[in-house]
């Protein structure tokens, strides 16, 4: 029982630490929330479900592997392969979003409003209607891409922690370890994203909004390169 308690503490600690040390767990949500003008509520839900997919996929793989008698070494190799795969997925997403950011910049760089006194009264109010850049993004593609990337993203530290309760034939222990790890990981993601988006909202970027998509793409690209070549 004491060993299981220590395992619970380790699950909570590792869930927190591996999230903090992995900028891919929160930076994409923060920069995309700012660039695409998501509400705080929408950003939190996207982060939550992406976290569920992130942890849930490793839990399923770990429990299925243990049930089939697959060795820990093979499971860890598979998780490592998934880690490299998700790095490349994030890289591709970063490249494509950077290209999109360049497109948005070029599209909006020539956009301007005439002074009110030069505009007829009948249409004067129309030029102050929210533009495409001022509206919240309502497309579903970007959230689904983030979710898919996180489903492929492994939790390498989780599977070894499932081995001990598995050897003890404790299904309850395995589920509890997975639950504690999941709560620690997802709650840490959401707290960082919440305060990150709040901090970004305090930065006045009105004159630089046309750069936001480009900035988001470049930051995602840098995060992917860090995963692939720096082991972040």
What's the average model confidence in pLDDT over 78-87? 88
For residue 68, give both structure tokens: 């089939």
> Which pTM was predicted?
0.81
Q: What is the pLDDT of residues 37-77, one digit of tens each?
A: 899 999 999 999 999 999 999 999 988 888 888 888 888 88
Look at residue 209 in the predicted model and tell me its pLDDT: 67
**Residue carrying structure tokens 């003890």:** 168
Residue 221 in any domain: the answer is yes
Q: With respect to residue 57, please indicate whether it lies within any of the assigned structural domains.
A: yes
- For the chain, what is the domain count? 1
Q: What are phi and psi of 153, to 5 degrees?
A: -70, 125
Q: Can you give the residue range of the structural domain that contains 138?
A: 2-109+131-230
Q: Please report whether residue 122 resides in a domain.
A: no
DSSP string, 66-93: HHTT--HHHHHHHHHHHHHHHHHHHHHH
Which structure tokens are listed for 65? 């592997």
Domain assignment of residue 24, yes or no: yes
Question: Taking residues 80-89, what's their average pLDDT?
Answer: 89
Describe the chain by its helix, strand, coil percentages, rounded to 5.
80, 0, 20
Whether residue 116 lies inside any domain: the answer is: no
Classify burial at 46, counting beta carbons within 10 Å of its beta carbon; exposed 0-12, middle 13-18, buried 19 or more: buried
203: left (phi over 0), alpha (psi -120 to 50) or beta: beta
Q: How far is Cα 184 from Cα 194, in angstroms, rounded to an integer?
A: 15
pLDDT at res. 57: 92
Contact 71, 78 (CB under 8 A): no
Contact present, 136 and 46 (Cβ < 8 Å): no
**Is residue 225, in this structure, part of any structural domain at all?**
yes
Residue 139 burial by CB count (10 A; 0-12/13-18/19+): exposed, middle or buried?
Answer: exposed
pLDDT in tens, 152-189: 888 888 888 887 776 676 778 888 999 999 999 999 99
In a domain, 123, yes or no: no
Both tokens of 87, joined, read 């790095």
Q: Is residue 154 part of a domain?
A: yes
The reported pLDDT for the residue numbered 53 is 94
């Amino acid at each position: 029982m004491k060993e299981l308690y220590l395992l619970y503490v380790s699950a909570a600690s590792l869930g927190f630490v591996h999230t903090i040390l992995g900028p891919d767990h929160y930076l994409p949500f923060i920069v995309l929330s700012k660039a695409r003008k998501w509400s705080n509520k929408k950003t939190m839900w996207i982060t939550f479900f992406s976290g569920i997919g992130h942890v849930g996929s490793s839990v399923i793989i770990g429990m299925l592997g243990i049930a089939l008698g697959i060795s820990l070494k093979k499971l860890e190799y598979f998780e490592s392969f998934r880690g490299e795969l998700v790095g490349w997925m994030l890289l591709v997403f970063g490249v494509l979003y950077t290209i999109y950011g360049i497109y948005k910049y070029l599209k909006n760089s020539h956009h301007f409003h005439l002074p009110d006194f030069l505009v007829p009264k009948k249409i004067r109010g129309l030029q102050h209607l929210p533009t495409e850049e001022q509206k919240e993004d309502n497309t579903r593609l970007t959230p689904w891409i983030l979710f898919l990337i996180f489903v492929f993203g492994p939790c390498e530290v989780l599977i070894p922690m499932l081995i001990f309760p598995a050897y003890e034939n404790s299904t309850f222990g395995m589920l509890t370890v997975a639950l504690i790890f999941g709560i620690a990981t997802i709650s840490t993601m959401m707290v960082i994203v919440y305060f990150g988006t709040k901090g970004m909202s305090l930065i006045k970027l009105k004159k630089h909004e046309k750069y936001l998509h480009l900035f988001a793409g470049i930051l995602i690209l840098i995060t992917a390169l860090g995963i692939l070549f720096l082991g972040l």
